[in-house]
Amino acid sequence: MISAVIFDMDGVLLDSEPYHDQTTTSILESYGAKGAYEAIRPYVGRSSADLWAAMKVKYDIPASVEDLIELQWKKNVAGIPDSGLERSEGLTELLDFCHEKDIHIAVASSSRRDYVEAVFDHLNLWPYVEVFATGEEVENGKPMPDIFLLAATRLDVDPERCLVIEDSTAGVQAGRMAGMYTIGYDNPTSGGQNVNAADVVIKSLNEVPKII
């Protein structure tokens, strides 16, 4: 029986992957990088440290990984209020469904805490989400299961009673490794991520209540 739903954030709670792509490619292009969009595809859902360590080597960027991460998140946080980003279709109904059924709600995002909080403010998610975990809080990012296990611990719910909703290849792998029932959200704005390793694949969040 499912007692908790753990949401990935970007690409699940909101269609924000293109927003991230724009920020990241603009930084890379400022260093003269070519083919930046395709280069960052394998890093969707993974930590900023993984992304920028790889990009620094690939494009011989003189800035430190730490400085690149800081620039990325400053840009992301600053742009949220005017981004026009909205809740994903079906999200409000799903959150209400979980509340009605006394199902716990958590968010496990590879993003940084200040960005997660900015998104929660922008989308008014605070009344719904009990706990959240961020990429900077775990030693190993997705596709390792650490972040989902941390969220489950904070909810005090056994992993096998948790359901994960993910839109990225790395996130689906992490959910499965955590021993949680994993839904792959085939979101067309998430850059063609392969989520077929999930227990079930959906095209819309409107499908989730029937699965639960």
Record the tokens describing residue 117, joined without a space.
């909080």
Closest CA to 183 of 146, 158, 208: 208
Q: Characterize the bridge pairing of strands 131-134 and 104-109.
A: parallel
Homologous superfamily of 4-15+85-211? HAD superfamily/HAD-like (3.40.50.1000)
Whether 152 contacts 159, CB under 8 Å: yes
Q: Does the domain formed by 17-82 have CATH 1.10.150? A: yes
* Joined tokens for residue 194: 């392969």
Residue among 8, 10, 21, 146 flagged as catalytic: 8
Look at residue 46 in the predicted model and tell me its pLDDT.
81
10 Å CB burial of residue 172 (0-12, 13-18, 19+) is buried
Q: What is the DSSP string of 30-70?
A: HTT-SSHHHHHGGGTTS-HHHHHHHHHHHHT--S-HHHHHH
For residue range 85-126, list pLDDT tens digits in order.
999 999 999 999 999 999 999 999 999 999 999 999 999 999
pLDDT in tens, 53-77: 999 999 999 999 999 999 999 999 9
Structural domain spans, the chain:
4-15+85-211, 17-82
Residue 185 has pLDDT above 80, yes or no: yes
Residue 8 annotated to the active site? yes
Domains 4-15+85-211 and 17-82 share a fold: no
